[in-house]
Amino acid sequence: MRLNEELYNLSSLQLAPFLLGKLLCRKINGKIIKLKITETEAYYTEADTACHAHKGKTARTEVMYRRGGCAYVYLCYGIHSLLNIVCGEEGSPQAVLIRGVEGFIGPGKLTKAMQINRDLNGENLIVSDELWLEDSGCTADFTTGTRIGINYASEQDIARQWRFIIKE
């Protein structure tokens, strides 16, 4: 039931709504936990001023330039590890931020609960047995909204409806 490798070639704009309702899987001390993804955001190439990579490639954003299927875990405000799913083709920085899962609202909360830290940066979600995604079979209804915490982006990018929230 693991997500197909080909899905990660989709653009972040297609993948973000697709991931809603899918299962985020993590192995902790041999125990596997699976949580339904309830909220995502899309970050799309260097043209998106809200994307970390919009100024070009750095050591931090290097993972986003890889082929789809990697985890991009970065530290926000020095405190919170945030989990992103890299997608799109190599050289095209795109990622889907996992903003919430069932039971844990808030990107920093869910990474803490699932013990996701920067050790998992660059983890290959297609083959990893530490962190991966599974298809739950359900395709949920969703609503869209503006992204959060990107006031530094251009006005038009702030206005984009690239946040996807699952509907009950």
Partner DNA sequence: AGATTGATAAGG
Partner DNA sequence: CTTATCAATCTT
Options 17-25, 31-39, 79-87, 134-142: segment touching DNA (CB under 7 A): 79-87
Comparison of 7 and 116: residue with beta carbon closer to DNA: 116
Which member of 137, 151, 155, 156 binds DNA (CB under 7 A)?
Answer: 151
Which member of 90, 137, 152, 155 binds DNA (CB under 7 A)?
Answer: 152
**Residues contacting residue 99 through CB under 8 Å, at least 6 positions apart:** 39, 40, 41, 106, 107, 148, 163
Give me the least distance between CB of 20 and DNA, in Å please: 17
Asked if residue 13 lies in contact with residue 162, where contact means CB atoms within 8 angstroms, the answer is yes
How many other C-beta atoms are found inside a 10 Å radius of the C-beta of residue 30?
A: 5
d(CA 49, CA 67): 21
Q: Does 61 bind DNA (CB under 7 A)?
A: yes
Residues from 14 through 53 that contact DNA (CB under 7 A): 41, 43, 50-52
Give me the least distance between CB of 80 and DNA, in Å please: 5
Asked if residue 22 lies in contact with residue 135, where contact means CB atoms within 8 angstroms, the answer is yes
Give me 114's structure tokens. 């699932």
Distance between the two ends of the chain, CA-based, in angstroms? 23
Chain residues that interact with DNA, rule: CB under 7 A: 41, 43, 50-52, 55-56, 58-61, 64, 72, 74-80, 82, 84, 95, 97, 99, 106-109, 118, 148-152
